[in-house]
Amino acid sequence: MLRHRTAGLPTMQSQPYLLALLCLLSSNMLLDALEVSVVVVALPSIATDLTLPPASTQWLMSGFALGFGGLLLFANRLATVLGRRRVYLAALLAFAAASLVGGLLDDPVALFSSRFVKGFCAALTAPTGLAIIMTSFPEGVARQRALSVYTAFGAVGFSTGLLLSGLLTPLDWRWILLFPAPVALLLFVLGLVLLPRDDQPRDTSPRNLDLAGALTFPAAAVLAAYALVAGGERGWRDGRVLGAVGLAVLLVGAFVLVERAARWPLLPLRLLADPSLRRAVLVAAAMNGSFWGFLLIASFRWQQTLGWTPLESALAFLPASLLLAVAAPFSGRIVARFGTARLIPAGMCCATGGYAYQLVPRQSAHYLPDVLPTVVLVGIGFALAFAALHTSATQHAAPPDRAAAGAVYQTGVQIGGALTLAAVTAALTAGAATGSGAGQLGDRWAFAVISAICLAGLTVAATGGRDRAACAPDRGQSPTT
């Protein structure tokens, strides 16, 4: 039985209340998910309006990922220490404020910073919403249905973001950054009424927050991404690049020392001893990052070189995200039927083949023969591998550590994806600077890097067959994201 106390809702076990709560949490999940893709087809317009090079606009994509992945572990700690309701509501207000800042100011630093803040807010609300579902809905069919709805909203969020970006960018690209503000405020008002209160008192001592770990880890990730991007622009011997690399290494070392000494570490280092988790993080980072790199390159190529509209670009990307959204409801059964050791390499093979297809010299630039095969192959790759990767990351963790292993996996996926995108951007810049395709933004170089990264992910995925446990189909566990 549920015994939450929420003002204005005396019957917390009622079906109308649970349905309203699920609508609130799922709507916010949709808002968080679409933020990943909503800037993609607007990047050329933003670059033109603010006179930014493509290498700078990538921060609009990686900034959100760095905020989400860099602070996800800290976000989970905040929700645990301060309470889910309080953190969730504060994140919605901060999300709305960051949307206004990003949409109204012209300063690129403010724009990029707003994306980082929105990533942090998503790190606060997405897993917290999942945790609220787990404690608010009774175990059994009701909870499974609620989880299915929640994850379905997340799965369609990427497609929704693409379409909104394609529709709003011709009006003014600022609308894609501004429209989430009133939506977040509406969700905040609904959350005041619907979100269950936290009953137990909590120790809010700073030592329970591990602030040193929360600062050193995202700082190291941001510096590493900056070093990769700046290396393509300035050269790898530039003092700023070398300084950023050195400081990032020092911060990673400091983070490890802090976590070892912490009474309640953000990252229990023992989890990294699991080879399945490490392999899943590396493969998913390669898959995520290579796809983000493809989105960046294709958006500029299609709009600046081929003259496509933002909506045409959005529709061109759509088959990949729709394939993943359609497969999401069946992902648990697919993983249980075929096993992670088959699905992950198969998915990486499809994605690698799709990117390599762009390296084939061709005279035309038509969508059906020249673009659609890549989009479809990448979409199939995600549909096959992404849920299997999450399962692989958590399947060997002890039950008490399973949630923490999932958080570590999501952190690695986001940070690794952002660093991969930075590496692709460096290749894009270096290729253009050499004159070998400057009019095409050096995209041949960048596609070569994307293909190589995806191939490296495939190689790592293939080593999963060495684990006897991973070779058998996985039973009884389905991914929650």
Do residues 247 and 354 both lie within one domain?
no
Do residues 180 and 244 both lie within one domain?
no
Residues with Cβ within 8 Å of 428's Cβ and at least 6 positions away in sequence, in order, are: 54, 55, 232, 296, 297, 441, 442, 443, 445, 446
DSSP secondary structure code for residue 301 in this structure: I
Do residues 232 and 181 both lie within one domain?
no
pLDDT for residue 200: 64
Longest distance between any two alpha carbons in the chain, whole Å: 69
For 338-383, the DSSP string reads H-HHHHHHHHHHHHHHHHHHTTS--S---IIIIIHHHHHHHHHHHH
Residue 203 in any domain: the answer is no
Do residues 186 and 313 both lie within one domain?
no
Do residues 88 and 219 both lie within one domain?
no
Residue 206 in any domain: the answer is no
CA nearest neighbour of 468 among 275, 337, 288: 275
Q: Which residues of the chain have pLDDT under 70?
A: 1-13, 199-207, 431-442, 465-481
Do residues 388 and 284 both lie within one domain?
yes
Residue 1 in any domain: the answer is no
Do residues 420 and 279 both lie within one domain?
yes
DSSP secondary structure code for residue 436 in this structure: S
pLDDT for residue 233: 85
- Rounded percentage of the chain residues whose pLDDT exceeds 90: 63
Do residues 136 and 226 both lie within one domain?
no
Contact between 428 and 82 under an 8 Å Cβ cutoff? The reply is no
Measured distance CA(411)–CA(68) in Å, rounded: 8
The residue type of 407 is A
For the beta carbon of residue 445, count every other beta carbon within 10 angstroms.
Answer: 24
Structure tokens that stand for 53 in this block: 């090079």
Residue 204 in any domain: the answer is no
Residue 3 in any domain: the answer is no
| CATH number, position 165 | 1.20.1250.20
- Rounded to a whole number of angstroms, the CA Rg of the chain reads 22
pLDDT for residue 466: 52
CA dihedral 192, 196, 201, 206 (to 10 degrees): -60
Residue 41 in any domain: the answer is yes
Measured distance CA(93)–CA(63) in Å, rounded: 19
Measured distance CA(7)–CA(13) in Å, rounded: 14
pLDDT for residue 427: 85
Q: Give the Å distances, CA to CA, from 55 to 45, 99, 150, 297, 428.
A: 14, 22, 34, 10, 8
Q: What is the pLDDT of residues 330-349, one digit of tens each?
A: 888 899 999 999 999 999 99
Contact between 297 and 441 under an 8 Å Cβ cutoff? The reply is yes
CA dihedral 421, 423, 428, 433 (to 10 degrees): 150
Measured distance CA(95)–CA(28) in Å, rounded: 11
Sole residue written with tokens 């995209």: 443
Do residues 15 and 79 both lie within one domain?
yes
pLDDT for residue 10: 40
Residue 63 in any domain: the answer is yes
Residues with Cβ within 8 Å of 404's Cβ and at least 6 positions away in sequence, in order, are: 268, 271, 397
Domain of 228, in residue numbers: 211-261
| Number of domains the chain contains | 3
Do residues 360 and 226 both lie within one domain?
no
pLDDT for residue 162: 93
The residue type of 264 is W
Residue 129 in any domain: the answer is yes
Neighbouring C-alpha atoms within 13 Å toward the C-beta of 116: 16
Contact between 152 and 81 under an 8 Å Cβ cutoff? The reply is no
pLDDT for residue 460: 94
Neighbouring C-alpha atoms within 13 Å toward the C-beta of 137: 26
Do residues 95 and 193 both lie within one domain?
yes
Q: What is the pLDDT of residues 55-85, one digit of tens each?
A: 889 999 999 999 999 999 999 999 988 899 9
Contact between 166 and 158 under an 8 Å Cβ cutoff? The reply is no
Write down which residue in 261, 282, 301 finishes a domain.
261
Residues with Cβ within 8 Å of 94's Cβ and at least 6 positions away in sequence, in order, are: 117, 120, 121
Do residues 389 and 274 both lie within one domain?
yes
Measured distance CA(171)–CA(168) in Å, rounded: 5
